[in-house]
Structures are given as structure tokens and as C-alpha cells.
Amino acid sequence: MGEEEPRIGVYVCHCGLNIAGVVDVEKVAREAAKLPNVVVSKDYRYMCADPGQEMIKEDIKKYNLTRVVVASCSPRMHEPTFRRCVESAGLNPFLFEMANIREHCSWCHPHYPEDATEKAIDLVKMAVAKARYLSPLEVIKVPVTRAALVIGGGVAGIHAALDLADMGFKVYLVERSPSIGGRMAQLDKTFPTLDCSICILGPKMVDVANHPNIELITYAEVKRVEGYIGNFRVTVVKKPRYVLESECNGCGECVKVCPVEVPNEFDENLGPRKAIYVPFPQAIPMVYTIDMDACIECYNCVEACKEQGREAIDFDMKEEEIHLEVGTIIVATGYDLYDPSRVRAYGYGLYDNVFTAIELERMINAAGPTQGHVIRFSDRRTPRSLAFITCVGSRDVKTNIYCSGFCCMYTLKNAILLKEHYPEMQIYVLFMDLRAPFKGYEEFYRRAREEGIIFLRGRPTELYEDPKTKNLIISMENLSTGEPMDLEVEMVVLSNAAVPAAGTEELSRILTVSRDASGFFMEAHPKLRPIDSPTDGVFFCGAAQGPKDIPYSVAQGSAAASRAARIMARGEWEIEPIVAYVDPERCRNTKTKCGICATKCPYGAITVEEGKAAVVNTAKCHGCGTCAADCPANAITQMHFTDAQIIAQIHAALEEKPEEKIIGFLCNWCSYGAADLAGTSRMEYPPNIRIIRVMCSGRLDRDFILEAFRKGAGMVLASGCRFGDCHYISGNYNAERRLKPLFKMLPRFGISPERFRLEWFSAAEAGFFTNLVKEMVETLKRLGPERIREENEKARPFLDRMLKHIGG
């Protein structure tokens, strides 16, 4: 704390009726005014609106405020807004603190207005307590490398890469398969205009290949990403294709002499390809690849290549590591299709004539394995009747709950295409609901109906094969008539859902970004930051973030490019100064060999030399606070989340009726996010919990939990991201290692171990969080305040001795 007493202004937001409808905001403001150091306390309809911000700015000057506390929504929402506001009034932006009385209070406790008001007062009290200990910080400026990495060369990645390259930035486009193009390259036509898919994508792919600013790295995967916004160091592993990209001119003579045929993945394994191949004729780069799993090393291709006067084939090629330095990363890894053989009732893989939609797509494509003929597996005859089954692997609690979005439309498209090719064919679409919400889509649906396609509402329960004719009999309840019915068709096509692409999980770990409950990448904010990842400088576009059709993916590709350019155009970027600082006076390493902090830092940001105090490299430090919690001498401080600030919050929260309260330490990225989501989703839980935000669970010192018990807390929750999802790589592992022993330690002091909970959940798991709080409150009630007080009394002498250094 500075020499002068802080002068705090408190502003309580009504947020229309979002807060004021439940919480008595005037009472909160009145109570806040009574707190020590609070000079002014007001409530207002919308603090974030211009007049609200003006009010703060005026007050800072009028009352000479040195701290500002706003009680409104989540800091994940408006902290930057208010920081800018106080900064423009001449106050350091880090002298601002926020109390989350909307997501964590009014939205979650609408039926307990009195309790909610009490909780809001506590939350304000905690924020004020922290505000007293805030110190001004200067933002850290880092240089930005003016190059971007785009992961995934589908239609979204291609557009992101082209836009950035046109703006003049260097772009590295990394694609896992031998060619760019992605899913769109596989499609025949696109809805609702029936444009030929590869005809509109092909030229874009050529643009990528020819663009001077784009470096295309195909048949390669991102293995490691280090660094931070503006300064990422990326390791890409390029698989050997055994053909020199510089030499191969794509003549295809090698293919003619290759003796090995294997199924072509690009054709969904319906037709063959050779062991040396390009996946499709328009592939970019137009370079052949040898599939070593299939190659028998006869060297016929080498001979054929020599006859053409070239030596493009190199069997000694090795895996190659490429190191890139980029400022931003765009993830456009797309989707995979749900494996329908998992829905056994539909018999995919068991019955010959059950196909998936993408298989039909390859069949109906003139460049596909059947040259555009739709034929049955059993007899290679064009079926006279065909049924589409929608929502396979989506909208079902047994598979995936989400709606895959584009399946209805591609089903309609395939139905219309089939009707064009085979006007005599009886086509049925068996659907639960048909969703056609965007421009031109409903018209397309109407067209399908007008063209004589039969729509039957109902979810097929079972499907079986006539062993003689290999026709399929579908049992379903026709929901329009309410009658059960059997439908015999010659072919069935399953419209299967989009699922996260293989490798999404691994990539999420490499980039330390989280995934939602369905496994797709999760955006920083569902409404206002749909393109940004929670990691600064990393963006998503296309189906990597959730199923999307082509125009949506293209729009997101361009959006991601502009988000990335926003950072790179400036040439430098400001990062939050919430870094760690080592007090050289207190660091033990000057006297004995310590270095614990350096071993715990997930980013290698701390250097320890013998006999000298440890030093934090601020540009490398991400501000998780793990080192601060692990330092045995308490010599490390995490700025803006100091021990003093957190302990002040604990004390403020437990001033009154502590035995009824739960102190919850939540990490900013996952568990705090889940608590926010619980609010946004209006999930209700008992108002006993008081949440303290830390950047990472790795920050959680054992002392914080013990201090909470010493001050009489009923229960304590420590939580963070699920293992493997930590935004600081290993913070939650460190937290677990440090906090797990408490379960053994607490009973020795006389505290029931069930009063401490250590839980890991993602930002999407709002339901988990609400259930957890409910469960904890049950425990609290079961134990009863008497017993809790008794236990706390018993433990106090031990705790007092252990926490002498904290005082109070």
C-alpha cells in the first residue's frame, strides 16, 4: 500500500433489470459507502454506457479517487472497458477492480433476492478489500512478428491465408493431407445454388499456390507451439512424401506403372488409388506422394520418372522439422464425419446398400470413382428407390446432443441432384425436423418438395436387409399420421453429423486452448469474440469451432484474417503486466541452492544462477502465479493477484456468518468461465459461495485455503481446468500436487476433510459447477454451523501457528 490512504469510488450497476431486478442495488451502494476508504458510492442503470463511464471519470477528478470498484458483470466481459475508462481519467488502469454481481449473483439467485443482495454486498466488500492493495502497473509492450500460421487448408483456412497474404503479411499454411482443399474439394455441388464445388474452390487453391506471400507446407503437422502473442515459435513436422516437390511436375507417368492399388481415402474408400498418388486431379500442390504403407518398393516409378527426364522420386527422404516464427496463429482444422457404424440400428458397415452422405457425394461427382453414377454395393445397379435418414450422430443424447447444422441442407441438395440425374427414382427424406434458416435455404427446401421428393417425419427405429434382394426395410413411426410404418427402399443414405476433426484434442493441448462439451474448439466469448481463442494471438475459423457451411466458413476465414491483422499491423502489442516478480531480498537462492520456482515455471521464464536471486523474464512470463505459490520463502509476487490482495478478499468475504459460506477459488479460464456460463444460462444454485478469481489454479497457495478455514469458512473449493486443458500448461497439476495433501492434513487439525473440495472442470461445464455448489451446500447443512464452529475453534491454534507470517 502506498503512503497515502487509498480513496475508493464504488459504482453499482443495475444492468437494466438484470441486476436490479434481483439485487437491491441501492442497499449495496449504501453499504459500500460505509466501508473504510470508500469516498463515494453510487448506483446507476448502465455503468458501461457512456453516461456511466462519464460519471466515473468526473468522480475521479472531483473526489480525487485513487481506486475504482465497479460492481456489475463478469470481468471477463467488461474489465477492459472500465480499465480504459479510468485510464482516460488519468488513473492507472490496474487501480480498477470489478465485483461480479451479475453472472455470479443476480442471474443465479433470482428467487432469493435478500440472500443475493447480501452476497452482492460481500462481493463488493471483497473487491474493495482487494482494491486497497492494488498497485499501479505499466503494460508491457512486445514486438510482433509480421507473419501468420494458418493450420488447415480447407475453405476457411484458404480464405484466411489469402486475405492475410493480400494485406502483405507472410503466411505459412500448414495442411495435414497431401493437398489443400479440405472437405469442400470432396463435394460435388454446393447448396442452395448448385454451383460445382471444385470449380469455385479450385481457382482459390491455385491462388494460394501462386501467392508470393504464402508458403504452403502440405503433408505436415504442427507438433509444438511455444511463445506468446506476437512471438510464437512453431515446430512443424513434415512427413516424407518420397517425391521431391521441387522436381515433380505432376505428369502422372509413375501412376501408370505402379502395381499396387489401395482404397482412396479421398473417395471415401469407394474406389482405388495407386500407392503413388495425388488424392484428386485438381490437387494443390500438384505433387505425387508415395504411401509407404502400401508401397512394395518395386521402383517402377523411379524408372518411369527417369524416362521423363526427371529424378523426382527419392526413397531416402526423411521426416523433416520446420521451425517457424509467427505473430499470430489461425486454426482452421475443420471437421470429421460421425462414424455411423456406431448407430447399430442403421446397419452401416453391416448391410451393403447403406451409405453415408459423403460417400454419395463422391459417387454423384463426375470425377468420383463411379464417374457420377449412383450404384448399389450389392449389384452395382442404380437404385429405383432411395431414403435419406437425417440426424445420424446428432440431436440424440446417445450420440451427440448438438445439431450439426448443415446436414438438412446437404440432404436436400443430394435429393435434388438425384432427382435431376434420375427423374424416375423414388426419393424419401426421413427427418425429425428440417432446418433451413439462411438466405435462399427455405426456398431450396420448397424446391425439393416441388420436385416430388417425399418427406416423411419420424426417426427410424430400425433398419434391416432383405437377404435376397439386398433391399432395406426401414421401420419407423410416421409422426404425421402417428402410425408405425415399414418402408422398403433399394438404398439408404445416412446424413451423418460433423464431429471434431481427429487431432483436435492434441492441437488444443499444443496451443493450450480449450474445447467445448462437444469437443470443438471454444471461442473466447460466444457472442462478442466468436473468432478469438482464449489464448491471445490464436484465432479459430470454420468448422474447427463448430459445424458450419461454406459461406459461414469463408466469412469466418476472412474474419480471422482481420483479427490476426489487427495485431500484426501494429508491429507491437501490449500484454498485461500481471507477471511474477522476485524480491531479491527474500529469495533464498542467494544463500542456499533453491531454484524451485524455475522448475515449476511452465514457460521456463525464470532463470536461477547459483548464489544469485532468481530472475523472471517478463516477456516470457504468462502470469499463472505457480511460482508465487510454490516459493518457500514467499519471495515471489504475482502482480495484481498478490498474497495481500487475495488474503484481503478472503477476510472480507468471511467477516459475517463465515460458517455458512463457501470460499471458491476459481481459475480465470475454466472454472471461473463455468461459473460465468452458469450465470448466463440462468442456472440456479444456493447463494452461499463467494468466488475469488485467480488466473490459474497453480496460483493457489496452501496458505489461502488454511487462512479461509482459520477465518471460519464453512467450506473451501479450489478448482481449475481439467487435466490437459490448463491454459498455463501445467498449473493445475501443480495445484493438485500442492493441495491434495490438505485432505490428510485437515483432519489432523480437526477439520472434516469433506469441507475442502478440489475439482477440475472446463468453462463449458456450467452444470457441473452448479451441481457442485448444490452438493457442497448439502454438506454444509449436514455438518451444521455448530459443528463447523467447533471444528474451527479446535483448529485455530494450529492454524494460527502455521499462518503466523500472514498475521491478522
Cβ closer to another protein: 17 or 298? 298
Among 48, 196, 237, 294, binds another protein (CB under 8 A): 294
Site for another protein (CB under 8 A): which residue of 8, 10, 171, 275?
Answer: 275
Asked whether position 263 contacts another protein by CB under 8 A, the answer is: yes
Which residues inside 442-471 make contact with another protein, applying CB under 8 A? none
CB of 353 to another protein, least distance (A): 11
Minimum CB distance to another protein, residue 266 (Å): 12
- Does 270 sit near another protein (CB under 8 A)? yes
* C-alpha distance from residue 333 to each of 70, 284, 690 (Å): 40, 17, 39
296 contacts another protein (rule: CB under 8 A)? yes
**Number of residues this chain uses to bind another protein (CB under 8 A):** 31
Instruction: Rule CB under 8 A: say whether 380 interacts with another protein.
Output: yes
Contact 432, 575 (CB under 8 A): no
Minimum distance, C-beta of residue 638 to another protein, in the bound complex (Å): 50
Cβ neighbors of 609 (< 8 A, separation 6 or more) are: none
- Piece in contact with another protein (CB under 8 A), picked from 263-271, 495-503, 548-556, 648-656: 263-271
- For another protein, give the closer residue by CB, 269 or 562: 269
Q: Least separation, in Å, of the C-beta of 344 and another protein? A: 8
| Residue with Cβ nearer another protein (375 or 473) | 375
Asked whether position 764 contacts another protein by CB under 8 A, the answer is no
Q: Is 279 in the site for another protein (CB under 8 A)?
A: no
Nearer to another protein, 275 or 524 (CB): 275
Write the binding mask 335 to 354 for another protein: x where contact by CB under 8 A, - elsewhere.
Answer: ------x--x----xx----
Distance from C-alpha of 193 to C-alpha of 441, rounded to nearest angstrom: 9
Determine which helix (DSSP H) or strand (DSSP E) holds 121, and give its type and residue range.
Answer: helix 113-132
Q: How far is the CB of 367 from another protein (least distance, A)?
A: 13
Contacting another protein (CB under 8 A), which of 33, 199, 209, 298? Answer: 298
* 302 contributes a contact to another protein by CB under 8 A: no
The answer to whether 399 touches 338, Cβ cutoff 8 Å, is: yes
Give the 3-state secondary structure of 276-325. EECCCCCCCCCCCEECCCCCCCCCHHHHHHHHCCCCCECCCCCCEEEEEE
- DSSP-assigned letter for residue 239: P
Cα 721 to Cα 704: distance, rounded to the nearest angstrom = 19
Q: Quick one: residue 794, left, alpha or beta (phi over 0 = left, psi -120 to 50 = alpha)? A: alpha
Q: Which is nearer to another protein, 60 or 258 (CB)?
A: 258
Neighbours of 339 (CB within 10 A): 14
Minimum CB–partner distance for residue 290 and another protein (Å)? 13
Residues 7, 63 contacting (CB under 8 angstroms): yes
Among 139, 322, 375, 432, binds another protein (CB under 8 A): 375
Q: Which three cell numbers stand for residue 202?
A: 479450385
Which one of residues 75, 153, 369, 458 is an interface residue with another protein (CB under 8 A)? Answer: 369
In 695-804 the beta strands, taken as DSSP E runs, fall at 715-720, 756-760
Answer for which of 175, 221, 268, 630 binds another protein (CB under 8 A) is 268
Instruction: Work out how close the CB of 168 gets to another protein at its nearest, in angstroms, rounded to a whole number.
Output: 45
Minimum distance from CB of 552 to another protein (Å)?
29
CA dihedral 768, 773, 776, 782 (to 10 degrees): -120
Candidates 135, 269, 478, 607: give the one binding another protein (CB under 8 A): 269
Nearest CB to another protein, comparing residues 223 and 256? 256
Contacting another protein (CB under 8 A), which of 46, 112, 315, 377? 377
Q: Which residues between 210 and 229 bind another protein (CB under 8 A)? A: none
CB nearer to another protein: pick between 300 and 618: 300
Which range binds another protein by CB under 8 A, 265-273, 455-463, 646-654, 737-745? 265-273
**The one among 2, 90, 212, 259 contacting another protein by CB under 8 A:** 259
Contact window for another protein (CB under 8 A) among 369-377, 605-613, 687-695, 731-739: 369-377
Instruction: Output the smallest distance, CB 633 to another protein, in A.
Output: 57
CB of 377 to another protein, least distance (A): 6
Based on the number of CB atoms within 10 Å of its own CB, is 233 exposed (0-12), middle (13-18) or buried (19 or more)?
middle
CB of 491 to another protein, least distance (A): 12
- Closest approach of Cβ 416 to another protein, in Å? 22
d(CA 678, CA 684) in angstroms, rounded, equals 8
Binding of another protein by 286 (CB under 8 A): no
Nearer to another protein, 373 or 457 (CB): 373
Residue whose CB is less far from another protein, 343 or 692:
343
State how far the Cα of 139 lies from the Cα of 84, in Å rounded to an integer: 12
- As measured in angstroms, the least distance from the Cβ of 320 to another protein is 23
The answer to whether 633 and 586 have CB atoms below 8 angstroms apart is yes
Look at residue 698 and give its three-state secondary structure: helix
CB 86 within 8 A of CB 68: yes
Give CA–CA dist 33/41, Å, rounded. Answer: 5
Contact call for residue 297 and another protein (CB under 8 A): yes
Directed axis angle between helix 766-802 and helix 742-749, to 10°? Answer: 50
Contact segment (CB under 8 A) with another protein among 373-381, 442-450, 503-511, 610-618 equals 373-381
Residue 408 gets the label, from left (phi > 0), alpha (psi -120 to 50) or beta, of alpha
Q: With contacts defined by CB under 8 A, name the span among 2-10, 69-77, 254-262, 537-545 that binds another protein.
A: 254-262
Bin 807: left if φ > 0, else alpha if -120 < ψ < 50, else beta.
left
First to last CA, the chain: 16
Question: What span, in angstroms and rounded, lies between the C-alpha atoms of 457 and 765?
Answer: 33
From the number of C-beta atoms within 10 Å of its C-beta (0-12, 13-18, 19+), residue 500 rates as buried
Give the residue with the Cβ less far from another protein, 257 or 454.
257
Select from 250, 272, 281, 604 the one that contacts another protein (CB under 8 A): 272
**Cβ at position 254, least distance to another protein in Å:** 12
Among residues 89, 262, 317, 803, the one that binds another protein under rule CB under 8 A: 262
Alpha helix stretches (DSSP H) within 167-311: 182-186, 197-210, 253-257, 300-307
Q: Are 76 and 676 in contact (CB under 8 A)?
A: yes
For residues 659-690, one letter each, b for 16 or more C-beta atoms within 10 angstroms of the residue's C-beta and e for the rest, the string is bbbbbbbbbbbbbbbbbbbbbbeebebbbbbb
- CA distances from residue 357 to 195, 272, 361, 397 in whole angstroms, order as listed: 18, 19, 6, 22
- In the 8-state DSSP scheme, what is residue 345? G
CB of 563 to another protein, least distance (A): 39
> Minimum distance from CB of 371 to another protein (Å)?
9
Q: Indicate which single residue of 89, 140, 244, 260 sits in contact with another protein (rule: CB under 8 A).
A: 260
- Report the alpha-carbon distance of residue 11 to residue 97 in Å, rounded: 11
CB of 383 to another protein, least distance (A): 13
> Which residue type is seen at 312?
A
160: its cell numbers? 484466411
Q: If binding is defined by CB under 8 A, does position 252 make contact with another protein?
A: no
* Position among 213, 370, 618, 779 found at the interface with another protein (CB under 8 A): 370
Stretch that binds another protein, among 226-234, 259-267, 414-422, 689-697 (CB under 8 A): 259-267
**Eight-state DSSP code of residue 722:** P
Interface residues with another protein (CB under 8 A) are 257-263, 268-272, 275, 293-294, 296-300, 341, 344, 349-350, 359, 363, 369-370, 375, 377, 380
